[in-house]
Amino acid sequence: MILGTIFGRIKASRKGLFERNGCTGTEIYTHVLCSARASDARGFLVERPETELDPVSACSLCRWSDRCAEQWEAEDSLALVAGISRSQRQKLEAAGVTTMAGLAAQHDRVPRMTMETLRRLVSQARLQSARRAGGPPSFELRDAEPGKGFGMLPPPDECDVFYDIEGDPYFPDGLEYLHGVWYCEDKDWKFRAFWAHTREEEGRATANLLAFLVERMQRYPNAHIFHYANYEIAALRRLTAQHRTGEAAMDQLQRERRFVDLFRVVSGAMVASEKGYSIKDLEAFYMDKRATDVATAGASAVFYEEWRNTHVKQHPIFNAE
């Protein structure tokens, strides 16, 4: 948010100056950004404009995340409401609803917000508030709709595959260092890992994973590949294009609708009392708190990066579930 305030001051006049010097779009952007960084950062430090903590997707990797979380907790901020968007927060704040407790008690209409959205957000705030006050995990089912929530689930098949991916954003240009699949073979549940510690290995791991998935789907025509949230699919599409491998296999799996996004199933089917809808958040409903140090996706990236720098083979990343 603070960086947004600084960079938001980029002046059109500077852009014009670079355009007149014949720079390309990318060069203009870089020049303007550097220029804005230098002078506006100085201006920002002198003027000290009002800022507010506004959660973004990068918060989980930010060094200030504990500090921001403390402040949101202290303020009972709307930012804590799981699944709320920035525009929804702004509409609620404009209507005078500024805390989670206030939202939990909201009955009146909120301008420019549908009643369905408001009902979901009020339920979310109510369940989450009770949980934060020390209550047990709880959930409410949303109204069933064809093709949404549980309606997205195919019939279970004993040959289904459960797939997850881990990436390291600190690796130059990022590295998808692990694909993991959990599947049943001869009535025995097995885990198979496809590791990659270099760019070349990343391509090989992608090809091997897709070969495994295609072969399994051919053998078991009713099986599906379950994953959580869209990252896996976006990453596979990017990896197949980048490494020029497995594009036809990926097309085939998508054409056959083999992938099932369990995040969309869960978030469309219920409102849950947890602080978010990540798979780690929802573990509260079906398992004890993890004892391992590698308890979140952010932590696994940090541990992996630490291992890359030290190459300590006994690192807890290799014992993570």
Of 117, 108, 115, nearest to 87 (Cα)? Answer: 117
CA–chain centroid gap for 318, Å, is 22
Q: Which residues bind ligand SF4 (CB under 6 A)?
A: 1, 53-56, 58-59, 62, 64-65, 68
DSSP 33-102: HHHHHHHHHHHHHHH---------GGGGG-TTHHHHHHHHHHHTBGGGSTT--HHHHHHHHHTT--BHHH
How far apart are CB 65 and ligand SF4 at their closest, in Å?
4
80 vs 270 by CB, closer to ligand SF4: 80
| Burial (0-12, 13-18, 19+ Cβ within 10 Å), 89 | buried
60 vs 138 by CB, closer to ligand SF4: 60
32, amino acid identity = V
| CA gyration radius, the chain | 23
How far apart are CB 5 and ligand SF4 at their closest, in Å?
11
How far apart are CB 72 and ligand SF4 at their closest, in Å?
9
User: Residue 216 and residue 159: Cα distance in Å, rounded?
Assistant: 8
26 vs 57 by CB, closer to ligand SF4: 57
How far apart are CB 2 and ligand SF4 at their closest, in Å?
7
75 vs 247 by CB, closer to ligand SF4: 75
1 vs 248 by CB, closer to ligand SF4: 1
Q: Where are the beta strands (DSSP E) in the chain?
A: 139-141, 161-168, 175-185, 188-195, 225-227, 259-261, 270-272
Other beta carbons less than 10 A from residue 305's beta carbon: 17
65 vs 98 by CB, closer to ligand SF4: 65
How far apart are CB 59 and ligand SF4 at their closest, in Å?
3
How far apart are CB 68 and ligand SF4 at their closest, in Å?
3
User: Residue 101 and residue 78: Cα distance in Å, rounded?
Assistant: 9
55 vs 149 by CB, closer to ligand SF4: 55
How far apart are CB 70 and ligand SF4 at their closest, in Å?
10
74 vs 287 by CB, closer to ligand SF4: 74
| Burial (0-12, 13-18, 19+ Cβ within 10 Å), 42 | exposed
How far apart are CB 249 and ligand SF4 at their closest, in Å?
37
Residue whose entry in the numeric block shows the structure tokens 């909201």: 106
